[in-house]
């Protein structure tokens, strides 16, 4: 048998190369089969060298069962599959070698690297959140005005909101935002950054999508205020495409409303917390009603809270809202947007997928090291 490749002191013959090409043809492998077969056989020799160093073997019964399972993937018995291979010029020993190295390498990688792979709950949550990240969805570029009239000024606020809703000029809207908006965004004319449209509550999402560029929504009633939005742009972007199944957020209530003392306390809390869990420490030894932690479907969240949450990423905060006729400041923090219903997620399956991905990465790195250190002659 003519040698065609040498990997360190291990030979690959022309017969083996021809057999592997024919096996790949049976598998309907796309691409350059000669190149694919050469690379696969070189990797097999490197794996065999490493396996021999550790004395790894596979029992005959396990190998036979694995070959039967391999044939079963094509809905054939092993004798039937053997016949198909023979009809295509592939000896059963070629399949045997192919399956054996696969079993040995898989088990070797698991035993060698399993202690290096730790899957945390945070890893699982991140994997769940990242599902669907390659799908595009709409993002909108908006400007906002929130008019929060003091008691007795509601009619004047409504008149102002009606006038603003008829504006079509960006400059006019920005000037109005600087004059009447109650939110910090008034400092830059009410301009918001690009935001996924699915972040907005369902009852407002459709209104926004119906806007033409430059058009302003009709006045939107929210608790103790009136909201208006002007559309500056719309685009498709790569984002999680699913509308959140539920949104988890925390609300910490601070006495004093938007007074200097209330805003100062909110700023202090902001500097103390990184996650929603941190708010439990802030609220320690206080009445239980000062802190709410809720997980609600988007449609169940009040419009004013939903609009604030739409602008936040997990861990970010706002303290633009008040309750009790302005006497209580709401320190709002987004905990999570849950894009997958919890009852549809098999966490053990996801854990296994992450483990498999990390083991594969470690195995690939080992193989690259073995290849770099090897002497390979065509």
CATH number at residue 302: 3.10.50.40
pLDDT of residue 351: 83
* pTM score of the predicted model: 0.51
Claim to verify: residue 269 and residue 184 sit in the same structural domain = no
How many domains, in total, are found in the chain?
A: 3
Q: How far apart are CA 224 and CA 330, in angstroms?
A: 13
Residue in this structure with the two tokens 């006495």, named with its chain if needed: 255
**Which residue range(s) make up the domain with 326?**
244-339
Predicted confidence at residue 120, as pLDDT, reads 87
pLDDT value, residue 31: 80
Helix intervals (H) in the chain:
14-26, 33-54, 60-72, 78-87, 92-113, 121-129, 154-165, 170-180, 202-209, 260-272, 278-282, 303-310, 347-373
Q: With the C-alpha atoms ordered 157, 163, 165, 168, is the resulting torsion angle positive or negative?
A: negative
- Looking at the fold, whether 248 and 238 belong to one and the same domain comes out as no
Cα–Cα dist 228/190, whole Å: 10
Q: Give the number of C-alpha atoms closer than 13 A to the C-alpha of residue 350, restricted to the C-beta side.
A: 19
pLDDT of amino acid 133: 45
Q: Tokens 């923090």 sit at which residue?
A: 333
| C-alpha to C-alpha distance for 182 and 321, rounded to whole angstroms | 9
Supply the pLDDT for residue 13.
Answer: 96
Indicate left, alpha or beta for 315 from its phi (over 0: left) and psi (-120 to 50: alpha). left
Helix (H) or strand (E) holding 294: strand 291-296
Element (H, E) at 98: helix 92-113
Q: What is the mean pLDDT of each run of 10 residues along the chain (378 residues)?
A: 91 96 88 92 96 93 90 85 95 95 93 88 73 62 93 92 93 95 92 88 82 92 90 74 78 94 94 92 91 90 90 92 90 86 62 84 91 93
- Output the domain CATH number for residue 20: 1.10.4030.10
């Amino acid at each position: 048998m003519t040698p065609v490749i040498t990997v360190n002191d291990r030979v690959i013959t022309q017969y083996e190369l021809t057999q592997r090409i024919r096996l790949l043809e049976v598998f309907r492998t796309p691409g350059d089969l000669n190149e694919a077969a050469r690379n696969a056989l070189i990797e097999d020799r490197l794996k065999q060298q490493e396996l021999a160093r550790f004395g790894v073997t596979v029992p005959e019964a396990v190998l036979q069962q694995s070959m039967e399972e391999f044939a079963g993937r094509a809905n054939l018995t092993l004798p039937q599959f053997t016949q198909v291979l023979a009809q295509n010029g592939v000896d059963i020993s070629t399949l045997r070698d192919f399956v054996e190295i696969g079993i040995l390498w898989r088990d070797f990688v698991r035993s060698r690297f399993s202690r290096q792979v730790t899957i945390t709950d945070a890893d699982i949550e991140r994997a769940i959140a990242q599902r669907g990240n390659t799908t595009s969805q709409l993002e909108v570029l908006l400007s906002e005005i929130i008019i929060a009239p003091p008691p007795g000024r509601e009619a004047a606020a409504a008149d102002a909101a009606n006038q603003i809703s008829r504006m079509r000029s960006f400059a006019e809207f920005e000037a109005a935002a600087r004059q009447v908006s109650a939110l910090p965004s008034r400092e830059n004319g009410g301009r918001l950054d690009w935001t996924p449209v699915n972040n907005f509550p369902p009852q407002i999402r459709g209104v926004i999508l119906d806007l033409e560029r430059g058009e302003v929504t009709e006045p939107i009633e929210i608790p103790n205020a009136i909201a208006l939005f002007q559309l500056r742009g719309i685009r498709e972007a790569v984002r999680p495409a699913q509308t959140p199944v539920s949104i988890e957020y925390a609300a910490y209530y601070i006495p004093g409303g938007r007074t200097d003392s209330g805003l100062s306390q909110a700023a202090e809390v902001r500097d103390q917390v990184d996650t929603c869990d941190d708010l439990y420490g802030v609220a320690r030894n206080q009445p239980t009603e000062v802190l709410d932690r809720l997980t609600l479907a988007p449609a169940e969240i009040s419009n004013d809270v939903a609009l604030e949450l739409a602008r936040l990423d997990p861990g970010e905060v706002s303290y633009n809202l008040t309750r009790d006729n302005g006497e209580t400041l709401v320190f709002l923090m987004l905990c999570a947007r849950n894009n997958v219903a919890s009852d549809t997620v098999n966490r053990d399956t996801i854990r296994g997928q992450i483990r498999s991905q990390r083991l594969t990465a470690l195995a690939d790195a080992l193989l690259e090291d073995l290849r770099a250190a090897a002497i390979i002659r065509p």
